Amino acid sequence: MPDGLAVVLIGLIVAAKFVVPVLIVRYPLAAGWANFVLDSVDGDLLIPLGLADATYQPIDKITDWVTYVAIVILVFRTAWPIRRLMLGLFLFRSIGQASFLVTGNEVLLAAFPNFLEPVFLVATSIHAFQRVVQHRPDWRQVGFELLSRHRWAIGFLIVLYKLQDEYFTHIANVDRSEFIQQLLRQVFGS
């Protein structure tokens, strides 16, 4: 049972996991990346604070789904040319999310990888680059043209990234940093 401070910290982190995704609708780039970072470290914070894994997993999947809903709202509200793709990726991952919540089988999450969030982060990052760094008045159009022109390379990298991510997270249940350390020890011996 977590102590008082741990309960407060758990509450704040869980609250952030619900609030940050909602901010994506208003601040896509900043909130999108903040959410990515938070989702990457939340388990490493919440479980050592005393939140049971059986409680953490459903909270994590529900807050992930809040992220996906915020992304879909944004892409439809701002009429992204790839909004149908984004809706398809949302529905695809939602099948995995719902299946996991019903069965508790993590393999279902790996079978329905989250491609939506990386596509969103790449798109918002390209848009920000066009708008801020290159001072392009047509930043959104140029950003989508760049995405379209390089869709196969970008898509390949996203698929490669997400497949390894889903494997490590939901099938092997191995911490990547520990895996890389062990691999380096085996390769370089020490």
pLDDT digits (tens, 9 = 90+) for 167-189: 887 787 776 667 777 777 778 87
Question: Any alpha helices (H) in 150-189, and if so which ranges?
Answer: 151-166, 176-188
Given this model, what pLDDT does residue 136 score? 63
With a CB cutoff of 8 Å and minimum separation 6, the contacts of 50 are 1, 2, 3, 6, 7, 10
Average pLDDT over residues 111-135: 83
Tell me the range of 79-88, 124-133, 139-148 where mean pLDDT is highest.
Answer: 79-88
What are the Cα distances from residue 125, in Å, to 61, 70, 128? 24, 17, 5
Q: Check: CB of residue 48 under 8 Å from CB of residue 13.
A: no
Residue 74 has pLDDT above 80, yes or no: yes
pLDDT digits (tens, 9 = 90+) for 24-70: 999 999 999 999 999 989 988 998 899 998 899 899 999 999 999 99
**45 closest CA partner among 96, 95, 9, 1:** 9
Can you give the residue ranges of every domain in the chain? 4-188
Share of the chain above pLDDT 70, in %: 91
